[in-house]
Amino acid sequence: MLQHLSRTLATVALTASIGVSAAKASAADQLTLCWAAWDPANALVELSKDFTNKTGIEMKFEFVPWTNFADRFQNELNSQGKLCDLMIGDSQWIGGSATYGHYVKLNDFFQKEGIDINNFLPATVEAYSTWPKGSQNYWALPAMGDALGWVYRKDWFARPELRKAFKAEYGRELTPPKTWDELKDVATFFTGKEIDGKKVYGAAIYTERGSEGITMGATAALYSWGFEYQNPNKPYDMVGYVNSPQAAEGLKFYKELYKCCTPPGHSDAYMVANLDAYKSGQVAMQMNWFAFFPGIAKDPQVGGEKSGFFVNPSENIAASTLGGQGISVVSYSDKKDLALKYIKWFADANVQKKWWSLGGYSCHKAVLEDPNFKNTAPFAGDFLQAMSGVKDFWQEPTYAELLQSMQKRLHDYVVADQGTAEQALDKLVKDWIQVFEDDGKL
């Protein structure tokens, strides 16, 4: 009896130890990649299967919706958490993540593995990889190029009765707008029209308060009017740049656009709200990130010939708000070597080509400088044009504070009708000066 019992116990112990070792082995050969939950993330899951097939390293993904993305993963980084081995973090995080040691510096690794950062578009390397700006310190590999663009209902724009009515009212053809004034005309024209038995509105724009929405949307207009974050010759000198008369004019315009032409209840809208408004046939145009355009082009309701795309309109200058992210290795990860293997694999030109074909926006020159690139998608040409004139928000370590101040000042003025555009921008300058003073930069 005793012999039988000891045999059973030995078998159980052996099985358990094998199980534990197997679990340990599989955990060791598994990487966790953290990013936002959106269309390109699904494409990356698909793409990463090739990495697993090639290396045997399993990929696990932690995707968080955009509205909580920064909160969730900034907390993770600040608490030196080990959840993420790889992080596709927003471009604005690079300053803080480099300064506070959240990301692994990649210069030596690039050199050792023969990864040439010059194979990537210079604007994306500058925006997604370097800190301090202008230096050659690389903290990320450009992973997902993105900019803010526009989508319009091509089928509505083609309707003869609407074209005729538009021409009679505005004296020109109903075509995708090239300037913000033209965009407002088109948006005003569509607002209140009945199309297919449904009342429609002009445009869905970003107005979200909580994370970064209204800043990303309003700066699309502000940049076009000539808004600058600082004196180009004197860093952190913001008076007269942030609150320049042109910037105030751009902000007034954005508010007018919000008041005249957005659907009811569009007072806290970001990417998903704009997509919903557009896909449900509620608006003629929407601003959104290029990242969503492959999904729109394939959408059964509004895809194919029903939708067209155009770059952010210009006014005084041509400029677009920068989106997109670089991929970094988290310095608190226990699997940095495996994570670097992923970066090496991801930097390969053929992987980058597949990344673009699956719906990810590659920043690799082998993809973007291909003579046929513009024909690969209906929005590919616009994407290239947008990326040649992108501007980004501050990438300072204190970016979160700077961003929240701008969110408040813009939302107070645009949505809540508090004060004037000039007052909003003056208050913003005051907030930002205090942030930089506290950070010892002023």
Partner 1 sequence: MQDSSTIEAQAPVTQKRSRSLINKLMNMSDRSMAWLFIGPTVVILLLINIFPLLWTIYLSFTNYRANQPTRDIEWVGLRNYERLLNSEDIWGYLQVTAHFVCWTMILQTIIGFGLALLLNRNFKGSSFFSTVILIPMMLSPAVVGVFWTYLFQPQTGIMTYIINFFGNFGPVDFIGNVDLAPWGIVLVDTWMWSPYVMLICLAGLKSIPPSLYEAAEVDRASTFRKFWSITLPMVLPFLLLAVLFRFIENFKMFDLVNELTSGGPGSITELASINLKREAFEKWRTGYSSAFAIILFVTVFGAGNIFVKVLNRVKNR
Contact set with partner 1 (CB under 8 A): 71, 74-75, 78, 80, 96, 100-101, 209-210, 263-268, 397, 400-401, 404, 408, 411-413, 415-418, 438
Q: How far is the CB of 417 from partner 1 (least distance, A)?
A: 6
For 39-58, give the DSSP string: HHHHHHHHHHHHHHHHH--E
- Report the residue number, 145 or 263, with the smaller CB distance to partner 1: 263
**Residue with Cβ nearer partner 1 (35 or 201):** 201
Minimum CB–partner distance for residue 79 and partner 1 (Å): 9
The CB-of-205 to partner 1 minimum distance in angstroms stands at 14
Nearest approach, Cβ of residue 296 and partner 1 (Å): 22
Cα–Cα nearest to 98, from 404, 346, 331: 331
Shortest CB 76 distance to partner 1, Å: 11
Kindly calculate the radius of gyration of the chain based on its CA atoms and give it in whole angstroms: 24
CB nearer to partner 1: pick between 166 and 258: 258
> How many CA atoms within 13 Å lie on the side-chain side of 201?
20
Largest CA distance in the chain: 100
HSE of 290 in the Cβ direction (CA atoms, 13 Å)? 32
Residues 110, 347: Cα–Cα separation, whole Å = 10
Smallest distance from the beta carbon of 396 to partner 1, in angstroms? 12
Three-state DSSP at 130 gives: strand
Q: Which is nearer to partner 1, 185 or 401 (CB)?
A: 401
Q: Which one, 335 or 408, has the nearer CB to partner 1? A: 408
Q: How far apart are CA 196 and CA 199, in angstroms?
A: 8
DSSP string for residues in 20-33? HHHHHHHHHTEEEE
Q: Whole-angstrom Cα distance, residue 113 to residue 134?
A: 23
Minimum distance between the CB of residue 10 and partner 1, rounded to whole angstroms?
A: 30
Of 112 and 441, the one with the shorter C-beta distance to partner 1 is: 441
Q: At its nearest, how many Å lie between partner 1 and the CB of residue 333?
A: 17
Q: How far is CA 387 from CA 137, 247, 361, 363, 419, in A?
A: 22, 22, 11, 10, 34
Q: 299 vs 439, which CB is nearer to partner 1?
A: 439
Closest CB to partner 1 among 24 and 199?
199
At residue 241, what are phi and psi to the nearest 5 degrees? -110, -60
Report how many helices (DSSP H) and strands (DSSP E) the chain contains, helices first.
19, 11
| CA-to-CA separations, 26 to 11, 13, 193, 331, in angstroms, rounded | 22, 20, 59, 21
